[in-house]
Structure 1
Amino acid sequence: MPNPPLGNLTAEQFLADYWQKKPLLIRQAVTQFDWLPELPDLLALAGQEDVESRLIEQKQGRWTCESGPFRPSRFKKLAEADWTVLVQNVNHHIPFAAQLLYRFDFIPHVRLDDLMISYAPAGGGVGPHFDSYDVFLLQVGGKKRWRISSQTDLTLVEDAPLKVLQHFEHELEWVLEHGDMLYLPPRYAHEGVALEPGQTWSVGFRAPTAQELGGAFLDFLRDRIELDGIYTDPGLTLPADPARLPADFVRQVAGMLQGISWDETIVRDFVGRYFSEPKAHVFYDGPDDELSEAKFARAVAKQGVALDLKSVMLFDDDHVYINGDTLEADQAAHAVLQQLANQRKLPPAKYEESVLDALYECYNYGYLQLGAG
C-alpha cells in the first residue's frame, strides 16, 4: 500500500498537528491515477440503481437538489454552468477508488466513510457550507478555487434544499489543480467554485451524533434484553380517581425497567456491528458458480482472497465483525482474519482449516472473492 497522501508529513505529524485542529493544503498529494474518469463515466454511475447520486443546480439565485438514479436525458437539459453532479460511495464500484480511500487508514477503519466524486463545469459549486465531519478534498482535473473560514456563525439559508450558509466571510483562498488536496476539520466553513471543468474527490469520515447512536443502541438492546417477571398488584385498593396514574404502579414499572443494563462488552459488540453494517442500498452477490470447500481451498492457495469493495470488516481481541454481523470463527483463525481486515486481502497460501471455514462462509455470502494470484 502506498504511503498516506500527506506530502512531506508523516501520519504521526498530521494527527498531532492538524487532525481536527486546523486546515492543511497539500500540493500534489496524489500524482498517480490508475482510473481517471471522464464525465460520461460519472454520469453512467449516477444512472445505476445501487449508486447514491445527486444533481445540484443554482437557478436565478435559488438552489435545487435532485436525487438519482438519473436517466441520460436528464443531463442533456443542463446549462453550461452552475450545476454539480455528486456520486457517493464510488469506492464500492471502482477498485482504484477503494484503494485510494484505504490510503487514509492512518485513521481507524471504523471512522472511514466513503469516497465521493463531484463534477462541476466552470462556475459550478454547491455554495458555502460546512461539514460535521473531517474531509479531504482532492482536485482531479481542472482547477477549483476554495475559500475557507473558521467563522462561528453557521446560520443556514432558510428553506434551501442544501445546507448553504447565510453569511460566509472567507479568511483564506487557494486554487487547487490536479493532484492538490485540502484537509478541513469538522464545522470549518468552505466554498469551492470550479474555474475549469473538473472533479473533486472527497474522502469523508463517520461522525455520528449522540442522538443517532442512542437510537441505534436502543434498537440493538431491544433484540437482546431478557426481563423476568410480570406486573402484579395483589394489594390493590379502591382508587379515588380511576384515571390517575397510581404511584405504586409507576414505582413497580420503574423497578422492572431497572433490569435493562449494559456494560462495555455490550457496547463494544454494538460498535462492531453498527459500524460495519452496510448502508440500506448495499447488497452482496454470492458466486454464480459456487465452488466446493475443497476446490475453494485449492483456489485460495493459488489466488488468495480480497474483500468485496463494499465489505467492511472490523475486529477486537475476541470478535471479528463483517457487514453488520459477527463472523463465527475459531480463535486460532483470528490472527489471519485480522490481517484480512487490516489489509483487505490475503496472499495465496495454504491456510488452516479454521481460517478456510471462515473465508468460505464469507465467499458464499459475497463478502469476499478470490484474488488475482
Structure 2
Amino acid sequence: MDYQLDLDWNDFLQRYWQKRPVIIKRAFKDFKDPLTPDELAGLAMETEVDSRLVSHEDGRWQVSHGPFESFDKLSENNWSLLVQAVDHWHEPSAALMRPFRQLPDWRIDDLMISFAVPGGGVGPHLDQYDVFIIQGQGRRHWRVGEKKALKQHCPHPDLLQVEPFDAIIDEEMEPGDVLYIPPGYPHEGYSLENALNYSVGFRAPSGRELVSGFADYVLAQELGSQRYGDPSLALRPDPAAVLPEEIDALRAMMMDLVQQPEQFNHWFGEFISQSRHELDIAPPEPPYQAGEIYDLLRQGDQLHRLGGLRVLKVGEECYVNGEQIVTQHKQAVAVLASAYAIGGAQFGEALDDPSFLALLTALINSGYWYFKN
C-alpha cells in the first residue's frame, strides 16, 4: 500500500521537531492497517523477532518476552503485545516507514507495532529518541507531559516508568491520527478498545556509543600506533605532577584519530548502516549467476530491498549493513541507497560493466536485494 502522510514538513520541522509534541489529526486519510492482530501475534511467536507482553492488574505489572507459544490464557483487559522491527519481517508494514523519508534515513530506526486490549499500555514513561505513533484500528487515549526532571522507577525489572505528570496533550486518537513525541517528554497511552499502534522510532546514538564504536574501529584497523613523546622534557619541582601541557598533548593524540575525515567517515558509515535488530535475510538457493541477473533486469524485472536494510551514503561512499560498497560506479550505487524498487535502466551503463554486475550479484546472493516471484 502507498501511504500518503498529510503533513507540511517544513512547518513541522520549524515548529515541532525536537521542540514540542503534537497530535496531527487524520494525518493518514482512510487509514488501512497493513496487518491484523493475529498476524502480529504470529510474528511474536518467531524466535528471531523481538517481542514482549506487558500486563497490569491492581497496580502490579508483569512483563514477559517472546517468542510466545500461545495467547489463549490472556484476559480481555489490561495487556499489550509489542513487537519490534516489524518492518524487517512484514513487507506491507514496512510501507508505513516510507512517508517519513522526508527525514534522514540514518536517523530512522525501526517500526514497532503494538496490539492492546482495553486498558492495555506500558504505563507512564519517557524515551530518549523521537517517535511518531500512528493510530491504527481502535481508539487509544494519550497523555503527554512537559519535558522536565521526573523521578523514574521500575515496577518490574524490565519496565521503567516515571512518576505522575500534568498533561499538555490529553486526547483520544482514532485511525489515521499521528502523535509526535520528541525525546524526554513523558507520555502514556491506554487503549479504549482493541487497538493497533505503529511507532516509527528514530536512532539517536549517545556519546558513549560513538566513542565505544570508534574505539573498536581503531583497534580493528590498528590505528593510533603513534606513541607519546616529549623531546623537550624539562626538570620539574614535583615529579608526581602531570603538567597541563602534557595533558593537552595526550588529548591531541586522541583527537587526531577522530579528526581524520576519511577514517572517521568510513567508520561512521559502517557503524550507522548496521541494523540494531535481526534482518529477515534469506539468500537465494541456488545463488544467481551474473548473467541471470542481467537478463532479468533487462527484461523489466525489478529488484526490491530487504525490509529494514540500512543503505546509507557518507560523502561519495555507500554502506550497506555495516559494509562499504566499493565500486567506481557511484551513481549506480546511489540508486541502491535512494530507491526501494529498482529497474535495470536506473543502473545506466554500470549494468554493462562486469565488475559492477559481479558486485550486484554478490549483494543479491547475500539476500540484501531480491526479485519478487
Distance 1:213 1:86 in 2: 28
Is 1:352 aligned to residue 349 of structure 2? no
Give the match for residue 87 of structure 2: 91
Which range moved further: 289-298 or 107-116? 289-298
TM-score for both structures, normalised by structure 1: 0.86
Cα deviation, residue 164, structure 1: 0.9
Distance 2:327 2:93 in 1: 30
Give the match for residue 237 of structure 2: none
Deviations 1:214-236 (A, max 9, x none): 111111111112455899xxxxx
**Structure 1 residues 177, 265: closer, same or farther in 2, change over 3 A?**
same
Distance 1:101 1:229 in 2: 45
- Asked if 2 retains the 8 angstrom alpha-carbon contact of 1:4 and 1:11, the reply is no
Where 2:160 maps in the other structure, the secondary structure is coil
Counterpart residue identity of residue 224, structure 1: Q
- Asked if 2 retains the 8 angstrom alpha-carbon contact of 1:134 and 1:204, the reply is yes
- Asked if 1 retains the 8 angstrom alpha-carbon contact of 2:3 and 2:95, the reply is no
Which range moved further: 266-275 or 341-350? 341-350
Q: 2:188 aligns with which of 188, 191, 201?
A: 191
Cα deviation, residue 304, structure 1: 2.3
Where 1:183 maps in the other structure, the secondary structure is strand
**Structure 1 residues 158, 287: closer, same or farther in 2, change over 3 A?**
closer
**Structure 1 residues 298, 199: closer, same or farther in 2, change over 3 A?**
same
Is 1:307 aligned to residue 305 of structure 2? yes
Cα deviation, residue 156, structure 1: 1.0
Aligned counterparts, 1:153-232, within 5 A:
153-158=149-154, 160=156, 161-226=158-223
- The alignment-based identity, stated in percent, is 31
Counterpart residue identity of residue 60, structure 1: D
Give the match for residue 282 of structure 2: 285
Aligned counterparts, 1:1-373, within 5 A:
5=5, 7=6, 9-31=7-29, 36-72=34-70, 75-158=71-154, 160=156, 161-226=158-223, 258=253, 261-263=257-259, 264-279=261-276, 281-282=278-279, 284-302=281-299, 303-330=301-328, 333-349=329-345, 351-353=351-353, 354-371=355-372
Where 2:336 maps in the other structure, the secondary structure is helix
- Asked if 1 retains the 8 angstrom alpha-carbon contact of 2:155 and 2:161, the reply is no
Distance 1:172 1:226 in 2: 50
**Structure 1 residues 226, 175: closer, same or farther in 2, change over 3 A?**
closer
Counterpart residue identity of residue 288, structure 1: E
Which range moved further: 346-355 or 84-93? 346-355
Give the match for residue 235 of structure 1: none
Counterpart residue identity of residue 187, structure 1: G
Distance 1:217 1:186 in 2: 24
Counterpart residue identity of residue 186, structure 1: P
**Structure 1 residues 246, 188: closer, same or farther in 2, change over 3 A?**
closer
- Asked if 2 retains the 8 angstrom alpha-carbon contact of 1:155 and 1:167, the reply is no
Where 2:63 maps in the other structure, the secondary structure is strand
Distance 1:130 1:289 in 2: 47
Distance 2:31 2:170 in 1: 26
What is the Cα-based RMSD across aligned positions, in Å? 2.7
